[in-house]
């Protein structure tokens, strides 16, 4: 009887936690613990998507907002632009996101310049072409990626 009670209580707690994570406003998380933000984005967007965005955050960070939105749309076409912005902002705000266990062969790469400003004149870089899906080759075969071309404004 005690075991059944514990089971019911655990189930109740987990249902309540899930509900709390679902109603958490991910646009207002500046003062929320990163652990909570991580749990909430996983509940909202699923673990696989959060990991795939986390892997390419360094590339997404340097892109102008319009190009970044295009790339996020390619990565997760079913997510609205607003949710895509929220997802990126939450994942980008997490410190030291653990390196996921993806191997080179299933890692999706976003190829972007290493900086968001021109190295000659310090102007912001802007879109040159729309981001395109590409195949790229490495030691263990080939993978899919997205190539972003920027130019000096």
Distance between CA atoms of 36 and 72, rounded to whole angstroms?
Answer: 23
Is 76 a binder of Zn ion (CB under 5 A)?
no
Q: Which is nearer to Zn ion, 69 or 127 (CB)?
A: 127
CA distance 22 to 6: 24
- For Zn ion, the closer of residues 22 and 151 by Cβ is 151
- Which C-beta is closer to Zn ion: that of 81 or that of 116? 116
Given candidates 65, 120, 139, 141, which one binds Zn ion under the rule CB under 5 A?
Answer: 120
CB of 64 to Zn ion, least distance (A): 14
Whether residue 91 contacts residue 75, with contact meaning beta carbons closer than 8 Å, is answered with no
DSSP characters over 73-90: HHH-TTS-HHHHHHHHHH
By the criterion CB under 5 A, which residues form the site for Zn ion?
118, 120-121, 123, 152
């Amino acid at each position: 009887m005690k075991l059944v009670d514990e089971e019911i209580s655990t189930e109740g707690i987990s249902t309540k936690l899930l509900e709390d994570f679902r109603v958490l406003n991910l646009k207002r998380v500046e003062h929320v613990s990163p652990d909570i933000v991580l749990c909430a984005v996983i509940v909202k967007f699923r673990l696989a998507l959060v990991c795939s965005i986390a892997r390419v955050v360094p590339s997404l960070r340097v892109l102008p907002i319009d190009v970044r939105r295009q790339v996020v749309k390619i990565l997760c076409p079913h997510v609205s632009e607003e949710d895509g912005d929220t997802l990126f902002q939450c994942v980008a705000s997490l410190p030291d996101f653990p390196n996921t266990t993806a191997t080179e062969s299933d890692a999706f790469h976003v190829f972007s310049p290493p900086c968001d400003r021109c190295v000659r004149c310090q102007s912001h870089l802007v879109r040159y072409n729309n981001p395109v899906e590409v195949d790229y080759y490495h030691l263990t075969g080939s993978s899919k990626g997205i190539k972003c071309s920027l130019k000096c404004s």
